Amino acid sequence: DIETRDIPTLQKSYTNKKDGAAPSHVIFCSMLLRICEKEMKTGPLFNWLLKSFNSELSVMFKPDVVKAYCTKIGRIFFNIQPPPSMMSTLENMMGGMGGNPMGGIDPAMMQQMMAQMQGGMR
């Protein structure tokens, strides 16, 4: 387990060029830091970095945490908004429908639609 290995074991694995575990995360992190030091116009470079290292990022330790941090970095440093959730997309598509006087869809109706899409409530 990564969290319980001691420093000499990690160092040996890190410097071993024959174990098939190249330390690409170090390269990714150093490039990420350099991009963040630049101005907001380097957003496309940030996107390129994420695409280029996508396969490595998906096999890192706790990849969902890495992805969440990358999303937050993109939002804060480069004003890159993550794709909308399924719920907000449905709300935007259904705007003006339902019984909500403010426009949009009634929350109870939205929950019923979501349940039907997932195979529940018939």
Largest CA distance in the chain: 65
- pLDDT over threshold 60, residue 22: no
Of 40, 30, 110, which Cα lies nearest the Cα of 80? 40
More confident residue, 66 or 13: 66
Q: Taking phi first (over 0 means left), then psi (-120 to 50 degrees means alpha), and beta for anything else, what does residue 79 get?
A: left
Of 13, 35, 25, which Cα lies nearest the Cα of 62? 25
Segments making up each domain of the chain, as ranges: 2-78, 86-117
| DSSP tag of 72 | H
pTM of the model: 0.56
Distance CA 108, CA 93 (A): 16
Instruction: Find the mean pLDDT for residues 9-34.
Output: 77
